[in-house]
Amino acid sequence: MKRYFPFIIVVVVALVTLASGTVLYRAKRPSVLTIPKNAPVSGSDGADSIHIRGAASAPVTIEEFGDFQCPPCGKLSDPINQLEREYRPRLRVIFRHFPFPNHAHAREAAFASEAAGLQGRFWEMHDLLYREQSVWSEAADVQLLFDSYAGMLGLNIDRFKRDMESEQVKVRVASDQNHGAALGVNTTPTVFLNNRALAPINLNPTGLHAAIDAAMNATPPP
C-alpha cells in the first residue's frame, strides 16, 4: 500500500490545484459587456461607437462624462459599477470622455482606454485607470505604465501603442468631448440619468441609488 502513497499525494495535490484555480477563475472572471457599435442613446448622433456596460435594452441609463485623472470621477467609478451589477438588467452605464486640459495625462489616459477598446477591453482599462489613478497621475513616464496596463490586460502591446497614436482614437475622444460640450457639460463627473443631469450633490452612492430607484419606479417593468 505504501508504494501507492506518492501517487495518491501527487494526484490529490494536482486535483486541489486545478479545483482552486477553477474556483478562483470563476470568481474573478470579468462580466462586462462592451457594445462597440452605436445604439440609440441620449443625444447620440449614431455615427460613433459608444461604451455601454449592462443590458443594451435596459430602461434606465446612466451616462457619465468623465476624466480619468479627475479624483471625484475615480471615487465615483466603483459605486457606479456596483449599481450596474445591483440593478442588472434594468440599468446600463455609458461612459463618455471629457478630459480636462489642466490634467496633464487625462487625454493620454482617454486614448489608452480607446486603444484598449479597439482590442475589446475598454471597460477593463477604464476600471484599471480609475483604480490606479493616484499611481499613473504622478508617474514620470506615464506611457510606460499604460503599456504595462495593456500587457496586464493581455493586449497586443505593439498594436496598443500604434492605436494610442492613431487618429481613430483621437477623433473618438474628441467626439465625446464635443458631445458633452453641446450638452453643456463643463465639469467632471457629470452624470445624466435618462438624459437628465443629476445635481453634483447627488453624485454619491446614496444619491445615485435614490435617483435610480425613482427612475425605475417611473419606468414600469417589461
Partner 1 sequence: MSGSRTRVIFYTVAAVISLAGLADATYLTVMYLTGETAVCGGSATCFQVLGSAYARIGGIPVAAFGALAYFSAFSFAIFAAFGYARMRTFFALIVCTMFAMTLWLLYVQAFLLHAFCRYCLFSAAVTFLLAGIAIAIPPSHKRSAA
Instruction: Rule CB under 8 A: choose which of 38, 132, 161, 209 binds partner 1.
Output: 132
Q: Computed from CA positions of residues 177, 77, 110, 36, in that sequence, does the dihedral angle turn out positive or negative?
A: negative
Q: Give the whole-angstrom CA distance, residue 123 versus residue 141.
A: 23
> Whose Cβ is closer to partner 1: residue 30's or residue 184's?
30
Angle (nearest 5°) at CA 96 between 156 and 135: 60
Restricting to residues 137-166, which ones interact with partner 1 according to CB under 8 A?
139, 144-145, 147-154, 157
73 binds partner 1 (CB under 8 A): no
> Whose Cβ is closer to partner 1: residue 6's or residue 221's?
6
Stretch that binds partner 1, among 11-19, 167-175, 176-184, 195-203 (CB under 8 A): 11-19
Q: Give the whole-angstrom CA distance, residue 133 versus residue 131.
A: 6
Type of residue numbered 140:
A
Which residues are within 8 A (CB) of 57 and not within 5 positions of it... i.e. 6 or more apart?
89
Instruction: Rule CB under 8 A: choose which of 131, 171, 178, 210 binds partner 1.
Output: 131
82 binds partner 1 (CB under 8 A): no
User: How many of the chain's residues bind partner 1 (CB under 8 A)?
Assistant: 37
Q: Please report how the helices 106-117 and 142-152 are oriented relative to each other, as an axis angle in degrees rounded to 10.
A: 20
6 binds partner 1 (CB under 8 A): yes
In the complex, minimum distance from the CB of residue 79 to partner 1, in angstroms, rounded to a whole number: 17
> Whose Cβ is closer to partner 1: residue 65's or residue 136's?
136
Stretch that binds partner 1, among 53-61, 134-142, 184-192, 208-216 (CB under 8 A): 134-142
Dihedrals φ, ψ of 191, to 5°? -125, 130
Can you say whether residue 53 is alpha, beta or left, with left for phi > 0 and alpha for psi between -120 and 50 degrees?
beta
Q: Among candidates 96, 98, 99, 79, which has minimal Cα distance to 87?
A: 79
> Whose Cβ is closer to partner 1: residue 4's or residue 47's?
4
Q: Which residues bind partner 1 (CB under 8 A)?
A: 2-3, 5-6, 9-10, 13-14, 17, 20-21, 24-25, 28-30, 121, 124, 127-128, 131-132, 134-136, 139, 144-145, 147-154, 157
